[in-house]
């Protein structure tokens, strides 16, 4: 089903063929949608993207016999203000986070109070793709970052709060944990590491995401923490995607969470590397639900026979694409499995400020026998793609 929130976020550009539309068909009324689901004997609800999680949580909780997460407290699964409060209340180590709600007067006194803890990270309480997430080093940057969130509609067209969050102590290594929950079990179906850099504008830029073996030395500590997060947020069913910072001094700390599967086509790539994914596992669960039989935990884990990564493209400044990127030429480079090119010759692209900006350029999925070879293949891909830009 299409929603206006997904359209506002750019997660879709038009109507999905054959899909219902929340605003057009139900007037944006979730109770009308609920009545339709009940009349059609809907037994399970899937979250397609971040923009739909709030509605999905309501339907799961309201449809009779539908598998659902903890009752009456769904906001902690889609609003970061409540999310980090829930971690703190449940004794899960987390970064200190304070919320500045819409309509707040950004007085000198207020800015000075938050300025005492700089540098810090400022982010909207709702959103996706790191849009609006900034590292700020002084009170001028703090005021600008907070004002930019509070003074305009958010990623989904809503009015989020601005969160001022403790900056994770360096070294900052970000991991991604992809899970599927069912019948009191939290299955770890993928562990990855984001390689990011800080742009000249202070934005966190995705360079690549690399799959990590479940046998790696850090896997156990990070996945145990992820399970604590799932319990604190009341997750009982479905896929979840979380981003966790880690270093040996601080330990793991949640950065972001989505009660949905990993986006950007990641599950299918995970399946090609490991033979399992959140989407495949959810389909198995639904099939068992329809047969009224419990899903076995067999198949709820993964192995990694080859190293793999997704390369994200980025620009440090506004740059024109002078030559149409050649997908076939990129596919012929060593280790490349899939290429997605969205850039077009003659178009000028802004400096990359979020993952969505990177996806406007494109990405490449590749694998190699080891990490050294993976690095070499990745550099060759970047060099080739850069040659298409002025």
Q: What is the pLDDT of residue 215?
A: 94
Instruction: Convert the pLDDT of each residue in 187-220 to its tens digit.
Output: 999 999 999 888 887 787 889 999 999 999 999 9
Q: What is the CATH number of domain 96-166?
A: 3.30.1490.20
Instruction: Inform me whether the pLDDT recorded for 371 exceeds 80.
Output: yes
Alpha carbons 33 and 42: distance in angstroms, whole number:
11
Pairing of strands 162-166, 173-182: unpaired
Share of the chain above pLDDT 90, in %: 85
Q: What is the pLDDT of residue 189?
A: 97
> In 63-170, where does DSSP find H-type helix?
80-89, 108-115, 139-150
Instruction: Inform me whether the pLDDT recorded for 129 exceeds 80.
Output: no
Residue 336 sits at φ, ψ, to 5 deg, of: -80, 130
Instruction: Inform me whether the pLDDT recorded for 28 exceeds 90.
Output: yes
> CATH says 173-386 is which class?
alpha beta
- Tokens at residue 22, please? 């929340």
Q: Are 317 and 355 in contact (CB under 8 A)?
A: no
Give the DSSP letter of residue 293: -
pLDDT band at 170 (very low <50, low <70, confident <90, very high): confident
State the chain's mean pLDDT as an integer: 94
Give the DSSP letter of residue 316: S
Q: What is the pLDDT of residue 343?
A: 97
Instruction: Convert the pLDDT of each residue in 258-296 to its tens digit.
Output: 999 998 889 999 999 999 999 999 999 999 998 999 898
Q: What is the pLDDT of residue 254?
A: 98
Residue 376 sits at φ, ψ, to 5 deg, of: -65, -45
Share of the chain above pLDDT 70, in %: 100
- The answer to whether domain 96-166 and domain 173-386 are alike in fold is no
Q: What is the pLDDT of residue 26?
A: 98
Instruction: Convert the pLDDT of each residue in 332-363 to its tens digit.
Output: 999 999 999 999 999 999 999 888 899 999 99
pLDDT band at 23 (very low <50, low <70, confident <90, very high): very high
pLDDT band at 252 (very low <50, low <70, confident <90, very high): very high
pTM: 0.90
Strand partners, 192: 176, 211
The domain locations on the chain are 4-72, 96-166, 173-386
Q: Which residues contact 116 (CB under 8 A, 6 or more apart)?
A: none
Alpha carbons 353 and 124: distance in angstroms, whole number:
15
Query: Once rounded to an integer, what is the mean pLDDT over residues 221-230?
Result: 97
């Amino acid at each position: 089903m299409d929603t206006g929130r997904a359209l506002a976020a750019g997660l879709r550009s038009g109507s999905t063929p054959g899909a219902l539309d929340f605003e057009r068909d139900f007037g944006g009324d979730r109770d009308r949608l609920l009545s339709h689901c009940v009349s059609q004997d809907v037994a399970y609800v899937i979250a397609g993207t971040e923009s739909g999680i709030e509605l999905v949580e309501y339907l799961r909780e309201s449809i009779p016999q539908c598998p659902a997460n903890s009752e009456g407290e769904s906001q902690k699964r889609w609003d970061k203000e409540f999310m980090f409060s829930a971690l703190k209340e449940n004794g899960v180590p987390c970064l200190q986070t304070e919320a500045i709600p819409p309509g707040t007067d950004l007085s000198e006194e207020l800015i000075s109070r938050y300025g005492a803890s700089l540098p810090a990270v400022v982010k909207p309480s709702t959103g996706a793709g790191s849009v609006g997430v900034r590292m700020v080093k002084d009170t001028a940057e703090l005021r600008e970052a907070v004002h930019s969130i509070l003074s305009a509609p958010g990623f989904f067209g809503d009015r989020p709060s601005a969160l001022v969050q403790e900056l994770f102590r360096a070294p900052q290594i970000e991991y991604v944990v992809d899970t599927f929950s069912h019948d009191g079990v939290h299955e770890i179906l993928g562990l990855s590491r984001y390689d990011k850099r800080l742009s000249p504008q202070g934005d966190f830029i995705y360079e690549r995401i690399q799959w990590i073996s479940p046998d790696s030395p850090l896997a156990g500590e990070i996945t145990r923490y992820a399970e604590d997060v799932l319990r604190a947020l009341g997750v009982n069913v479905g896929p979840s995607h979380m981003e966790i910072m880690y270093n040996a001094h601080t330990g793991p700390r949640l950065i972001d969470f989505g009660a949905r599967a990993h986006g950007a086509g990641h599950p299918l790539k995970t399946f090609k590397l490991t033979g399992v994914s959140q989407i495949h596992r959810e389909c198995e669960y639904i099939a068992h639900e329809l047969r009224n039989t419990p899903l076995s935990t067999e198949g709820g884990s993964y192995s990694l026979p080859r190293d793999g990564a997704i390369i994200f493209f980025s620009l440090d400044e506004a740059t024109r694409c002078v030559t149409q990127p050649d997908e076939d030429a990129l596919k012929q480079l060593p280790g490349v499995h899939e290429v997605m090119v969205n850039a077009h010759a003659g178009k000028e692209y802004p400096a990359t400020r979020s993952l969505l900006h990177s996806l406007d350029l494109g990405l490449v999925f590749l694998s190699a026998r080891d990490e050294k070879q993976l690095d070499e293949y990745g550099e060759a891909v970047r060099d080739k793609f850069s040659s298409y830009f002025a």
